[in-house]
Amino acid sequence: MKPKIFPQQKQLIPLFCGIITIAGLLLSSCNSHSSGGQGAISAQEAAQQVYVAPGQYDEFYAFMSGGYNGQVSVYGLPSGRLFKIIPVFSQNPENGYGYSEETKPLLMTSYGFIPWDDAHHPELSQTDGIPDGRWLFINANNTPRVARIDLKTFETVETIEIPNSAGNHSSPFVTENTEYVVAGTRFSVPIPQKDVPIASYKQNFGGVLSFIKVAPSGDMDLAFQVMMPGFDYDLAHAGKGKSKDWVFFTCYNSEEAHTLLEVNASQRDKDFVAAINWKKAEEYVQQGKYHEFPGTYYDNRFDTSTQTAHSYVHQGVKVLIPSECPGLVYFIPAPKSPHGVDVDPSGNYIVANGKLSADLSVFSFDKIQQAIQQKQFDGEVNGIPVLKFDAVLAGIVKSGGLGPLHTEFDDKGNAYTTFFISSEVVKWKLGTWQVEDRQPTFYSPGHLMIPGGDSRKPWGKYLVALNKITKDRYLPTGPELCQSAQLFDISGDKMKLLLDFPTVGEPHYAQAIPASILMPRSDKIYQLASNHNPYVTRTEKDAKVVRKGKRVDVYMTEIRSHFVPDNIEGIYLGDTVYFHVTNLEQDWDAAHGFAVEGNRENAELLLMPGQTKTLKWVPVRVGVFPFYCTDFCSALHQEMQGYVRVSSPNDNVALTWSTGKE
């Protein structure tokens, strides 16, 4: 297929060819390093804008999903510097998350211990529709879950499983005051799960949209689900301002195909946006108009006082059936397999992007309300009224691009949409629906992100495009290339490309917030005095080793630059040893690690000041094995070591422990 070049690009960047053919979605060959366009600025000017001098801070924190690494990475903007990787759904040997006994419960599900997932959409908590810096939520796509990260510690503090769901993609978007986090199923499945022929899809499969209640403490609980037709639910956003009682979900595969979806789910001219009135749903639940469905799911909560996660197993879900609940759900026809559904800062405009179309359909919340009142319906699906397309349409953006995916907003009445197939970001005006600017991206952007760009108060200075393909943008690293983000300055009339920077995993979506909001909230240490881990050792003289049958508990401390105890004898083959390590430091950034040779199941521990963590170790050989601090903590870090002696059960070695005894 001949690569298609759009006129603006042809004129300004003749070599640009990162265009994908719609038929095969195959990237054409591309050898360009050009990054110009109307917004081209000199390298010096761009460098000045992203340069954060040594010792200076970035203006924004950006949180990017790690996709198939199951993590969140934290970057600074505008520099693109990576600060931290927050493990969420995947074990992380780097800091022992999912390996320490305290964090293992966070990875528990009804399927058992799941050490991996595919994390797509970070979402900051909001107050009054504005990111407030309390928590960051993120979804697990594969084994449906939603996690909450506490932004005081930048640690995962809760994961909740979502029953009846499969491929938790349209998640975890929050309502205006973080009353709920929503989660829509990507794949429809038999509900409840049962053994049926796949060909019975239309009779047996359904899709649920889940509403997770968030308590003022942040704790999540699955409040109710809405049983929808057997479509694929893709993305969501809650309303804001006048539309704050509603949540909008895009869906595709209204054809209800179960094989070769690339053809069979692209038959219809229009799929839908499902508009759900969650206030009404609450009323129906209160009136008892729900069905109790079976479903086992885990809610895993990290107790900050004991620094330990616990799993709570729940049974049964309240499910609302739309045909029994008038006014709960309406379908809005949206062209051609829509992907993103994005609500502008005023809450009036809802943008749905048909990923196989060129145009963007923008709906008006006022018109939706009017159409509902006047019953301007175009039939119904499973008892869900379908609103007349023309009655709710606010405008169409004739984009000139192809494959619109996702839209965010600035604070000046502009919207910005990524176009996957034509590899560009298009800026357009709300109300006039006119295209104001377009810039190529390199290549094939999925989501884009403007700090606060899905909220009531965008900080419209920068835009980050999260690109799927980076061919020829960086030094080659074999067949596997890094993923990439591109930073644009959107403060002026024209977007200006400032920076390419590689990302970790596959970033699907991102959120950003001014550093001035998060910095003052950030904890520096864990207070030793308020560490109530049952295995805490508060002083060196409290260190001890306790045997109970074949279980040995080592209560150990670390402080620069020694362990107490550092010599342990009287461990036998067949024992299971739990090293409960407490970092006694009370100084910011004074971390210590702990690792012991021959640990087959678990990684290391990494302990922040005042923290207690537990590493399980089952010795498999007789001998004397070293343990050591893995974090370069002081000038005498290399001296920070110890030994544990393992004897044969036939021998008779007394249990002893000590430090500094010759």
Residues that bind Cu ion (CB under 5 A): 592, 629, 633, 640
Residue from 578, 549, 575, 571 nearest 651 by CA: 571
Q: Compute, in degrees rounded to 10, the torsion defined by CA atoms 406, 484, 85, 174.
A: 0
The answer to whether the CB of 242 falls within 8 A of the CB of 365 is yes
User: Which H helix or E strand runs over 292?
Assistant: strand 291-303
Work out how close the CB of 608 gets to Cu ion at its nearest, in angstroms, rounded to a whole number. Answer: 12
d(Cα 168, Cα 159) in Å, to the nearest integer? 13
Whole-angstrom Cα distance, residue 393 to residue 625? 71
**Minimum distance, C-beta of residue 584 to Cu ion, in the bound complex (Å):** 11
Six-digit token string for 49? 């804008």
Q: Which is nearer to Cu ion, 335 or 593 (CB)?
A: 593
Q: Which residue has the tokens 């640990």?
A: 599
| Residue recorded with tokens 């900080």 | 459
Quote the least distance from Cβ 637 to Cu ion, whole Å: 5
Q: Which of 500/566 has CB closer to Cu ion?
A: 566
Closer by beta carbon to Cu ion, 20 or else 633? 633
**C-alpha R_g of the chain:** 27
**To the nearest whole angstrom, how small is the minimum distance from the Cβ of residue 307 to Cu ion?**
19
Shortest CB 32 distance to Cu ion, Å: 49
Who contacts 245 (Cβ-Cβ below 8 Å, separation ≥6)? 239, 277, 278, 279, 280
The SS3 assignment for 215 reads: coil
Cα 5–Cα 9–Cα 13 angle in degrees, nearest 5 = 110
Name the residue nearer to Cu ion (CB basis): 191 or 633: 633
- Cβ proximity to Cu ion: between 6 and 628 the closer is 628
In terms of CB distance, is 88 or 640 closer to Cu ion? Answer: 640
Asked whether 114 and 143 are in contact (CB, 8 A), the reply is: yes
Please tell me what DSSP assigns to residue 43: H
- Please say which residue, 402 or 633, places its beta carbon nearer to Cu ion: 633
Q: What is the dihedral of CA 186, 397, 3, 476, to 10 degrees?
A: -60
Minimum distance of Cu ion from residue 533's CB (angstroms):
19
CB of 592 to Cu ion, least distance (A): 4
Query: 389 forms bridges with which residues in the sheet?
Result: none
User: What are the b/e assignments for 256-265, b being 16+ CB within 10 Å?
Assistant: ebbeeeeeeb
In angstroms, what is the minimal distance from the CB of 557 to Cu ion?
12
Quote the least distance from Cβ 640 to Cu ion, whole Å.
4
Contact between 325 and 218 under an 8 Å Cβ cutoff? The reply is no
Taken in order 55, 61, 67, 68, is the CA torsion positive or negative? positive
Nearer to Cu ion (CB atom), residue 447 or residue 592: 592
- Give the pairing of strands 308-320 and 220-228: parallel
Tell me the closest approach of the beta carbon of residue 605 to Cu ion, in angstroms.
Answer: 11
SS3 405: strand
For the CB of residue 288, give the shortest distance to Cu ion in the complex, in Å: 58
Nearer to Cu ion, 405 or 640 (CB): 640
When the beta carbons of 592 and 613 are compared against Cu ion, the nearer one is 592
Looking at the Cβ atoms of 328 and 640, the one nearer to Cu ion is: 640
